[in-house]
Amino acid sequence: MKTSSVLGTGRTALVTGASRGIGPLIAREIAREGNRVVLTGRSREELQAVAYALRDNGADVSFLPTNLVQPWAAEALVQTVERESGSIDLLVNNAGGDPQREFDRMTLNENLDILQLNLVAPLTLSHSVLGGMLQRGHGHIVNISALAGRVAFPYTEVYAAAKDGLIGFTRVLRNDYRGRGVSASVLILGPIRGAGQGQRTADQLGLKLPPFATASAEAVARAVIDAIRHDRAEVVVMPGPGRLMKAAMDYFPGLGPAINRISGSTATMQKVIESRKEQNHVALS
């Protein structure tokens, strides 16, 4: 069975991280294909606002607030979605992010929460949907990863570990189950403008994200559909020859940090870290 059949009327998609940032755009693009879409994230109000906006455009959308860092939350989420909205044909593991704080200054538990959100939750959700997908003989799992690890983006130790882990996880999952109708794709994102964490941070610091160095959030959403339709293994979403850039970073591990220094990313991240420290100080005082 062609995995593209997970798109269309009568098919159910679960999209995590759909309350804000890039997730709502991914959900919109999938809903446009005719799928029933279930949105999840922690914030009920934001999920409701996204769901209402999509419904106004004729989409079949519902939402279920869940904190994916909590134990057993992912398993319970899948059970509830399958009970209320039918079997999940398409899972998009998009929820993720990084607190943009120094590894040594965060507690071990804070670091482990980053791993939980960005790696353990996608893995657990995939495990929870896989049995049903294999029984039905079709399904697709899309994981949203990042170039952070490859470019050694400053102060993203655990985030980078999780996102690189997600690339390896997707590669093996795809290899093992594609022959039985269940495929997997990973999108490896560079900096994204227009929506999401990178844009919010830039706005907070009064920085402009240059279009020549960033991809749009809409491009990510379109890339999700493209990855499913053409059953792509890995898609690098960044301007220019993304896959080549990623390969160059792997071949020359010093290249990423050098580019970060020259492009000003290291200095910018230092500012971000300082502002996070201040926010944390205000929050705690």
Ligand X SMILES: NC(=O)c1ccc[n+]([C@@H]2O[C@H](COP(=O)([O-])OP(=O)(O)OC[C@H]3O[C@@H](n4cnc5c(N)ncnc54)[C@H](OP(=O)(O)O)[C@@H]3O)[C@@H](O)[C@H]2O)c1
Residues labelled as active-site residues: 159
Start-end of H helices in 65-196: 73-85, 108-115, 121-136, 148-151, 157-177
Q: Under rule CB under 6 A, how many of the chain's residues touch ligand X?
A: 28
Chain position whose Cβ is nearest to ligand X = 21
Closer Cβ to ligand X, 134 or 213, answer by number = 213
Site membership for ligand X, residue 154 (CB under 6 A): no
Site membership for ligand X, residue 198 (CB under 6 A): yes
Q: Which two tokens stand for residue 174?
A: 């795809």
Amino acid sitting at position 230: H
Neighbours of 76 (CB within 10 A): 14
Task: Return d(Cα 196, Cα 22) in angstroms, integer.
Answer: 5
Contact pattern from residue 82 through residue 101 relative to ligand X, giving x for each residue in contact according to CB under 6 A and a dash for the rest: ------------xxxx----
Closer Cβ to ligand X, 12 or 143, answer by number = 143
Look-up of token digits 């005082």: 285
Amino acid sitting at position 113: D
Give the residue, chosen from 14, 61, 68, 74, that forms a contact with ligand X under the rule CB under 6 A: 68
Closer Cβ to ligand X, 69 or 255, answer by number = 69
With a CB cutoff of 8 Å and minimum separation 6, the contacts of 135 are: none
Is there a contact between 266 and 154 (Cβ–Cβ < 8 Å)?
yes
Give the residue, chosen from 41, 139, 165, 256, that forms a contact with ligand X under the rule CB under 6 A: 41
* Residues near ligand X, by CB under 6 A: 17-23, 41-43, 46, 66-69, 94-97, 117, 144, 146, 189, 191-192, 196-198
